[in-house]
């Protein structure tokens, strides 16, 4: 059965590869974003050494790595699920002996792997040529970052699955999908690192799962977090990955009872 789940990763990867031309435009968009944020932050720093606990060099690395990490953990599982519910093809998913949400997660993972290889890695190299990006020189830090990136993927995908499943309860959850996307980009620290928020907001955001998606792995990569704080950050991610399973299971259970299939 594990074999079947792995096949969903492989198939999605191959499908993405077949449609890779769609992604060339994405590379440009990401490059523009990184460039824009780089120049904005340069202006914000002006002459100052450090702001919000980050040096200007750390900030440019943070911007680059956050966007490239986003390419990996980002997926449209919420919209895919909403569409399958709306057009009724979710019925087909229910007659197969597998866990629908697990399959979706694996498909998202296949997509993430594709983007990581075809997009993030080359993109990071290009970004390093254009902007001053400091790569960690400690292999252990790389390892931590890799593990945390994977956890980011799971947390973000769990949030996506939850958002997608709301299509069972409302006629159209498009608005919710968009709201979620903005919330993730803003609250995860992609647009502004958490340490730049006012104190009360930072405290509030640290109680939410979003920071575990971008801010924590980004801070490990740039070296803002050191020593024991790294393991602690990974533990927070792990906590959210497990904690989000509970609402997911609950929503799925009540969604099963609510399910009705459009078109007959």
Write out the binding residues for another protein, residues 161-180 only, by CB under 8 A. 171
Torsion, Cα of 244, 156, 41, 194 (10° steps): 0
The yes or no reply on residue 11 touching another protein (CB under 8 A) is: yes
The yes or no reply on residue 261 touching another protein (CB under 8 A) is: yes
54: phi then psi, degrees, rounded to nearest 5: -125, 140
Q: Which is nearer to another protein, 98 or 135 (CB)?
A: 98
Residue with tokens 């509970």: 246
The yes or no reply on residue 3 touching another protein (CB under 8 A) is: yes
The yes or no reply on residue 50 touching another protein (CB under 8 A) is: no
Residue 30 contacts residue 67 (beta carbons within 8 Å): yes
Report CA 90 to chain centroid distance, whole Å: 24
DSSP-derived secondary structure for 141-197: HHHHHHHHHHHHHHHHHHHHHHHHHGGGTSS--HHHHHHHHHHHHHHTTSSS-GGGS
We find the least distance from the C-beta atom of residue 253 to another protein, in angstroms, to be 10
The yes or no reply on residue 88 touching another protein (CB under 8 A) is: yes
Query: CB count, 10 Å around CB of 99?
Result: 14
Which two three-digit tokens encode residue 220? 């490990």
The yes or no reply on residue 21 touching another protein (CB under 8 A) is: no
We find the least distance from the C-beta atom of residue 17 to another protein, in angstroms, to be 11
We find the least distance from the C-beta atom of residue 157 to another protein, in angstroms, to be 20
Query: What's the rounded Cα separation, in Å, for the pair 210 and 60?
Result: 21
Give me the helices (H) in 19-165, please.
22-45, 56-73, 77-87, 90-94, 100-115, 121-130, 139-165
Pick from 51, 91, 121, 191: which binds another protein (CB under 8 A)? 91
Q: Which is nearer to another protein, 49 or 171 (CB)?
A: 171
We find the least distance from the C-beta atom of residue 26 to another protein, in angstroms, to be 19
The yes or no reply on residue 92 touching another protein (CB under 8 A) is: yes
Q: Which is nearer to another protein, 95 or 207 (CB)?
A: 95
Interface residue list for another protein (CB under 8 A) = 1, 3-4, 7-8, 11, 14-15, 18, 88-89, 91-92, 94-99, 171, 256-257, 259-261, 263-264
């Amino acid at each position: 059965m594990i074999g079947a789940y792995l096949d969903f990763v492989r198939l999605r990867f191959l499908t993405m590869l077949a449609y890779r031309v769609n992604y060339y435009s994405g590379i440009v968009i990401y490059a523009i974003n990184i460039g824009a944020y780089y120049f904005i932050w340069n202006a914000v720093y002006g002459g100052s050494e450090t702001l919000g606990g980050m040096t200007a060099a750390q900030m440019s690395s943070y911007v680059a790595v956050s966007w490239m990490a986003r390419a990996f953990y980002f997926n449209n599982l919420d919209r895919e699920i909403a569409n399958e519910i709306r057009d009724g093809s979710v019925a087909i998913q229910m007659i197969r002996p597998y866990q629908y949400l697990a399959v979706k997660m694996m498909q998202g993972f296949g997509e993430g792997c594709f983007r990581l290889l075809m997009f993030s890695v080359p993109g990071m190299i290009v970004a390093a040529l254009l902007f001053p990006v400091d790569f960690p020189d400690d292999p252990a830090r790389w390892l931590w970052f890799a593990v945390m990136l994977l956890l980011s993927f799971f947390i973000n995908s769990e949030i996506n699955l939850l958002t997608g499943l709301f299509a069972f309860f409302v006629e159209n959850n498009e608005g919710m999908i968009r709201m979620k996307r903005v919330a993730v980009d803003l609250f995860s620290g992609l647009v502004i690192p958490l340490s730049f928020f006012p104190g009360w907001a930072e405290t509030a955001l640290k109680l939410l799962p979003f920071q575990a998606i971008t801010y924590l792995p980004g801070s490990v990569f740039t070296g803002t977090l050191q020593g024991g704080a790294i393991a602690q950050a990974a533990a927070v991610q792990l906590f959210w990955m497990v904690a989000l399973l509970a609402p997911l299971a609950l929503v799925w259970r009540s969604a099963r009872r609510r399910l009705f299939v459009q078109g007959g």
